[in-house]
Amino acid sequence: MSASLNAATTTATADPACVEPARVEPLQVLGRDVTVPLVTGGEVTYAALDYAASAPALQRVWEDVAAYAPYYGSVHRGAGYLSQLSTDLFEQSRATVAEFLDCRPTDQVVFTRSTTDSLNLLGQVLPADCQVFVFETEHHASLLPWRDARVTYLNAPRTPAQAVATLERALADREPYGPALVCVTGASNVTGELWPVKELAAAAHAHGARIVLDAAQLAPHHPVSVQELDVDWVAFSGHKLYAPFGSGVLAGRADWLQEAEPYLAGGGASRKVARREDGGVDVEWHTTAARHEAGSPNVIGVYSIASACRALTEAGFDSLVAREQHLIAKVREGLAEVPAVRVLSLFGDDAPRVGVISFVVDGWNSSHFAAALSAEYGIGVRDGLFCAHPLVRTLLGSAPQEPGECGAPEAEPGERSLNAIRVSFGAGTPDEHVERFVGAVRELVAQGAQWTYRTEEGRCVPAV
């Protein structure tokens, strides 16, 4: 138990260019042997290619969680052995995450429910008159939490350099020239393209602003160093980091967190509560991360994140990145051979990216195409606007106000719909899954679906 938690993490030293991807095995994940029925008859091993929505649990994470579960106890408030053990594990998990992110010694690691929760927390601790700057290309988790601030939405850039220049102009021209926060993704959840985070952080700091990195799509694929990137905060979710047990992280500078009212009021966040003579209560809040962790924490969720951090570090990001680039090349080269397919991109074909690729197929409703991949080939992808409506609309060339949903729009199979198809993969994806996907795309485009489909409650489903 504790030996696993305290095991020293290793630092990846291999040069990705020297790694032979074919020799790097995928990490073991739960569900790798699950079979699903096909509408055309028979069963096939499920190809999970929706990692950008939620990645499967690493086998290592599952085993660590199962080993700890009998020892579960409420943290920070129990004298019993299991409570003390759980408290130690909880706080050691905090240290593991701080090391994984290469945090500064003075940074705080706050455990939340998800990236969305983390950014909403940060939105609640902004200083008075703080302005927020965010590109329209962001996931809704980054676009929407700033309800009490003045928000400037920046147009989608078409190059990394344009992103930096756009931000610099907006920050320089802000009125009044007061506190400001920039929120930016590390890797797009639509295109997979990497954003120039370090350069954007430098631009923000040069203009007296702070920056928070949405690393939900970056952390599962690449190492994230708070110090090297020089970001003020980083947010990510366990369920995208192969630890789908309901926890997330906000890590970074402590001052705004310490100066604000607690995100939630209650036990755990309060250090001391006393009655006043007038009948009210006086509360002294914690100044540590506990200030924003009211209630009984999700110890298992937190421990699973720490386990995933250790597993990815020990596997070596150089090897993981090299193998993922091998899979990306297979998918992109396969799709490029199908003229009817258009891959969506902001920065162009040569932009560095993670294993997230969105596309549309001429003559196909994207929901229909995704349904056929699932029902006829046992392949799970995602269709829709991916909770990044403005970005997908921009990439599809539609009017900004054209209606659409996160899921499938109300369009019958064969009708044009304002949505796309997204295939995403990662450390647990075997070559066969992406090879089957590329082959299925070719067949569907060339031969059409073998089954008929209908729209039911907003989803395209096989007509049984």
Which residues are known catalytic residues? 387
Q: Tokens in use for 343? A: 């891959």
Q: Which amino acid is at 308?
A: A
- Count of other CB atoms within 10 angstroms of residue 10: 11
Task: State residue 17 phi and psi, 5-degree precision.
Answer: -65, -20
What SS3 class is residue 456?
strand
CA 436 to chain centre: 25
In terms of C-beta distances under 8 Å and separation of at least 24 residues, what long-range contacts does 369-374 make, across chains too?
369/421, 369/444, 370/421, 370/460, 371/413, 371/453, 371/459, 371/460, 371/461, 371/462, 372/444, 372/449, 372/451, 372/453, 373/437, 373/440, 373/441, 373/444
What SS3 class is residue 420?
strand
Question: Would you list the DSSP string of 349-392?
Answer: TTS-B-SEEEEEETT--HHHHHHHHHHHH-EE-EEE-TT-HHHH
d(CA 152, CA 155): 10
- Count of other CB atoms within 10 angstroms of residue 412: 13
CA 279 to chain centre: 46
Length of the chain: 464
CA 462 to chain centre: 30
Strands laid side by side in the 382-384 sheet: 341-343, 356-361, 420-424, 382-384
Cα dihedral: 33, 37, 40, 44 (round 10): 0
First to last CA, the chain: 49
Q: Are 147 and 163 in contact, with CB atoms under 8 Å apart?
A: no
Residue 433 exposed, middle or buried by CB count within 10 Å (0-12, 13-18, 19+): buried
Q: Tokens in use for 21? A: 């991807």
Q: Which of 240, 268, 242, 223 is nearest to 10 (CA)?
A: 223
Q: Which of 100, 126, 458, 114 is nearest to 301 (CA)?
A: 114
What SS3 class is residue 119?
helix
